[in-house]
Chains A and B, each alone.
Chain A
Amino acid sequence: MTDPYKALDFFNTDELYTDEERMIRDSLRGWVSDRFLPIIEEHNRNATFPMHLIPELGEMGVYGASLTGYGCAGLSGVASGLICQELERGDSGLRSFVSVQGSLCMFPIWAYGSEEQKQRYLPKMAKGELIGCFGLTEADFGSNPGGMLTKAVKDGDHYVINGSKYWITNGTIGDVAVVWAQCEGTIRGFLVDKGTKGYLGKPIKNKLSLRASDTSELVLEDVRVHKSQMLPGVQGLKGPLSCLTQARYGIAFGVIGAAQAAFDEACRYSKIRVQFDKPIARFQLVQNKLVWMAAEITKAQLMCWKLGKMKDAGTMQHFHVSMAKRNSCWMALECCRLGRDILGANGITDEYQMMRHMCNLESVITYEGTHDIHGLIIGRQLTGEDAIL
């Protein structure tokens, strides 16, 4: 209630949203102001995730919100995007948690899982009683996940998985991992429960970005899982890539929230910070920075709204998502850099949120496909020439 946040909406994009979409956005915005912002700096300093909020978000229905059935809310694309926007206004780590849970873990179970897997995992994951993580990246295979070394070998009714995954969000706090592995000449997904012998999550320490988020290594040593734990509905790289499309969609909306937070903080600051006997907002160079931020945020809002409409209409393609993810992350990071500049020395302390957002966005512009990899995906679509491989 005391949070003075005003979300920039220069083109009145609000009127593009339905009543429900606005209500959902406002409900999340209030929750972030009241429940999350008062504690985030502390968690960021201590590099901890606010675990006590996990059930609250489940109660609100944000996990897997765009999925249908199994206790999921079945929301429109725009509504689920706006949820990400509001969460990331709080912190990219909070949005990452929700993206991993919904887009990277619940989605593949929902889309490719057996009925028994869906019944067993989805309702509990929707409530936040079970936390998921998504193991695709390995230390030596980031932009090129198809080269992964992790391997699953059939042994009777079981598969035996060996390998390791790196940079895995929720890897230590997760109750179930969606692990992608080379298997019989293709790539398959496996559901590995915490506590399975040979499976271990180990936190990656000393991050300067996404500090309030668990990023871990997964170690898999002769991990035996029953064949019923394999996702039956998909094989090949398109399995994990389809999950990434979902998560990237959420990121494209999400980081707009971080940019709005940056703009709000910088604009507010510029009006009260006095130098040369004037508020710095009166200087042309400062205004120009704010104008740049506002224009980029507005463009991203409109691009993402259209992306949401295409998602609902079933016309959204992965290269659309690449353009939105790439553009949003870049503009949000630039907004934070400009905003940090406007805040002067104050901008380097955690009295202000600017640098936390800025550091977070260094991860967000890298994970789920780096800025340049998305450029190459778009370039391939435009020219027909594949410059990635």
Chain B
Amino acid sequence: MPMDIVVCIKRVPATDATIKIAADGKSIDPAGVTFELNAYDEFALEQALRIKEQLGAGSVTVVTIGPKEAQKELRDTLARGADKAVLLVTDKWMFDGASTAAALAAWIKTQPCNLVLCGRQAVDSDNNQMAGNLAARLGFASVTEVVKLTLDNGVFTAERDIEGAREVVSCKTPAVISCQKGLNEPRYANLKGIMAAKKKPFEETPAQLGAAALEVVSLTLPAARAAGKILGNGADAVPALIQALRNEAKAI
């Protein structure tokens, strides 16, 4: 059975970017920040491409809710092999998993789609809400934080690392599956893919956002790290170090 796969991605500040809080005290100041594709979404895209390759049929459509600039991340997914990209445009920072999921669900319902893949979380808002919330709205099965995924005769077998154990679950389509590091090794865009990307379908429409279910009240940078402490020198200092690690840092 061919599968029409939707991959949800997000443009996020690069993990090594220096973050400044904006004047409103509730969002980050984007000036001088470089943005990139959310790393977990790369696993989702890669898995979608592999499923399509395995089945030899179907489609991979990548969607994001974000600013115009997210064209860059979408084009990158087309270069790696996605068939079509859709940008639901908004200037709002999408931090609320429920409103993101609502807008995506509304759009997905208009599309042929029997599988949604996304990253386990967006590394900017770190809410870890979207996949489950989206599945509930679509009435799809929901499997989160998958580290291994196989497809056999229309049935997915997914492995998840849960506290102290490895869980294996199976589900059928339609499903929303969120992807965790380890699932696969994302491919690089090859040069022909990059050249072909500009000829692929690319849609842009305003995002239909409902009311937010939660609100950011304030945003502050983490407190500066306290100064380090030198306990001594050489082997003589080891017992003091062990004591400090055990009693003060509670690291061992």
- Are A and B associated in one complex? yes
Chain B residue at minimum C-beta to C-beta distance from A60:
B190
B 68-85 binary contact with A (CB < 8 Å = 1; else 0): 000010011001000000
Instruction: Tell me if B152 is interfacial: C-beta within 8 Å of chain A.
Output: no
Q: Are A31 and B191 in contact (CB under 8 A)?
A: no
Chain A residue at minimum C-beta to C-beta distance from B42:
A1
Q: CA A27 – CA B76 in complex, angstroms?
A: 9
With A1-B39, A4-B16 known as contacts, the answer to whether A23 contacts B76 (CB < 8 A) is: yes
Interface of B is mostly: helix
Chain B residue at minimum C-beta to C-beta distance from A21:
B194
Q: Are B39 and A20 in contact (CB under 8 A)?
A: no
Instruction: Tell me if A237 is interfacial: C-beta within 8 Å of chain B.
Output: no
With A23-B75, A23-B79 known as contacts, the answer to whether A31 contacts B194 (CB < 8 A) is: no
Q: Are A60 and B16 in contact (CB under 8 A)?
A: no
By a CB distance below 8 angstroms, the chain B residues around A26 are: 76
Q: CA A23 – CA B198 in complex, angstroms?
A: 11
A4, A19, A75: which contacts B191 (Cβ < 8 A)? A75
Q: How far is the CB of A344 from chain B (nearest CB, A)?
A: 23
With A4-B16, A27-B79 known as contacts, the answer to whether A20 contacts B188 (CB < 8 A) is: no
Chain B residue at minimum C-beta to C-beta distance from A56:
B188
Instruction: Tell me if B105 is interfacial: C-beta within 8 Å of chain A.
Output: no
Chain A residue at minimum C-beta to C-beta distance from B72:
A19
Q: Are A59 and B195 in contact (CB under 8 A)?
A: no
Q: CA A4 – CA B34 in complex, angstroms?
A: 13
By a CB distance below 8 angstroms, the chain B residues around A79 are: 191
Within 8 A of A (CB), among B163-209: 188-192, 194-195, 197-198
Within 8 A of A (CB), among B1-35: 15-16
Q: Are B190 and A61 in contact (CB under 8 A)?
A: yes
Q: Are B194 and A20 in contact (CB under 8 A)?
A: yes
Q: Are A24 and B16 in contact (CB under 8 A)?
A: no
Within 8 A of B (CB), among A73-94: 73-75, 79, 83
Instruction: Tell me if A30 is interfacial: C-beta within 8 Å of chain B.
Output: yes
With an 8 Å Cβ cutoff, the count of chain B residues facing the other chain is 16
Q: Are A59 and B190 in contact (CB under 8 A)?
A: yes
Q: Are A73 and B16 in contact (CB under 8 A)?
A: no
By a CB distance below 8 angstroms, the chain A residues around B197 are: 20, 23
Chain A residue at minimum C-beta to C-beta distance from B79:
A23
Q: Are A20 and B198 in contact (CB under 8 A)?
A: yes
By a CB distance below 8 angstroms, the chain B residues around A24 are: 191, 194
With A27-B79, A60-B190, A61-B190 known as contacts, the answer to whether A75 contacts B16 (CB < 8 A) is: no
Q: Are B191 and A30 in contact (CB under 8 A)?
A: no
Q: Are A27 and B194 in contact (CB under 8 A)?
A: yes
Question: Of A20, A23, A59, A62, which is in contact with the most chain B CB atoms at under 10 Å from its CB?
Answer: A23
Q: Are A73 and B75 in contact (CB under 8 A)?
A: no
Q: How far is the CB of A103 from chain B (nearest CB, A)?
A: 16
By a CB distance below 8 angstroms, the chain A residues around B194 are: 20, 23-24, 27
Q: Are B191 and A62 in contact (CB under 8 A)?
A: yes
Instruction: Tell me if A65 is interfacial: C-beta within 8 Å of chain B.
Output: yes
Q: How far is the CB of B196 from chain A (nearest CB, A)?
A: 10
With A1-B39, A23-B75, A23-B79 known as contacts, the answer to whether A73 contacts B191 (CB < 8 A) is: yes
Q: Are A73 and B188 in contact (CB under 8 A)?
A: no
By a CB distance below 8 angstroms, the chain B residues around A60 are: 188, 190-191
Q: Are A75 and B190 in contact (CB under 8 A)?
A: no
Q: CA A4 – CA B16 in complex, angstroms?
A: 8
Q: Are B188 and A65 in contact (CB under 8 A)?
A: no
By a CB distance below 8 angstroms, the chain B residues around A27 are: 79, 188-191, 194
Q: CA A54 – CA B194 in complex, angstroms?
A: 20
Q: CA A19 – CA B199 in complex, angstroms?
A: 13
Q: CA A23 – CA B190 in complex, angstroms?
A: 10
Q: How far is the CB of A264 from chain B (nearest CB, A)?
A: 13
Q: CA A22 – CA B87 in complex, angstroms?
A: 20
Chain B residue at minimum C-beta to C-beta distance from A71:
B192
Q: Are B16 and A61 in contact (CB under 8 A)?
A: no
Q: CA A60 – CA B80 in complex, angstroms?
A: 11
Within 8 A of B (CB), among A47-71: 59-62, 65
By a CB distance below 8 angstroms, the chain B residues around A61 are: 190-192
By a CB distance below 8 angstroms, the chain B residues around A74 are: 195
Chain B residue at minimum C-beta to C-beta distance from A20:
B194
Chain B residue at minimum C-beta to C-beta distance from A30:
B188
Q: How far is the CB of A49 from chain B (nearest CB, A)?
A: 20
Question: Of B16, B39, B195, which is in contact with the most chain A CB atoms at under 10 Å from its CB?
Answer: B195
Q: CA A24 – CA B197 in complex, angstroms?
A: 12
Q: Are A75 and B195 in contact (CB under 8 A)?
A: yes
Within 8 A of B (CB), among A1-17: 1, 4
Q: How far is the CB of B225 from chain A (nearest CB, A)?
A: 15
Q: CA A19 – CA B198 in complex, angstroms?
A: 9
Q: How far is the CB of B131 from chain A (nearest CB, A)?
A: 22
Q: CA A24 – CA B72 in complex, angstroms?
A: 13
Q: CA A79 – CA B189 in complex, angstroms?
A: 14
Q: CA A75 – CA B192 in complex, angstroms?
A: 9
By a CB distance below 8 angstroms, the chain A residues around B39 are: 1
Q: How far is the CB of A102 from chain B (nearest CB, A)?
A: 12
Enumerate chain A interface residues (CB-CB to B < 8 A): 1, 4, 19-20, 23-24, 26-27, 30-31, 59-62, 65, 73-75, 79, 83
- Given contacts A1-B39, A24-B194, list 7 more A-B pairs with CB under 8 A: A1-B15, A19-B72, A19-B75, A27-B194, A60-B190, A61-B190, A73-B192
List, sorted by A's number, 5 A–B pairs whose CB atoms are closer than 8 Å: A1-B39, A19-B75, A23-B79, A24-B191, A27-B190
The list of the 3 closest CB pairs from A to B, nearest first, reads A61-B191, A73-B191, A27-B189
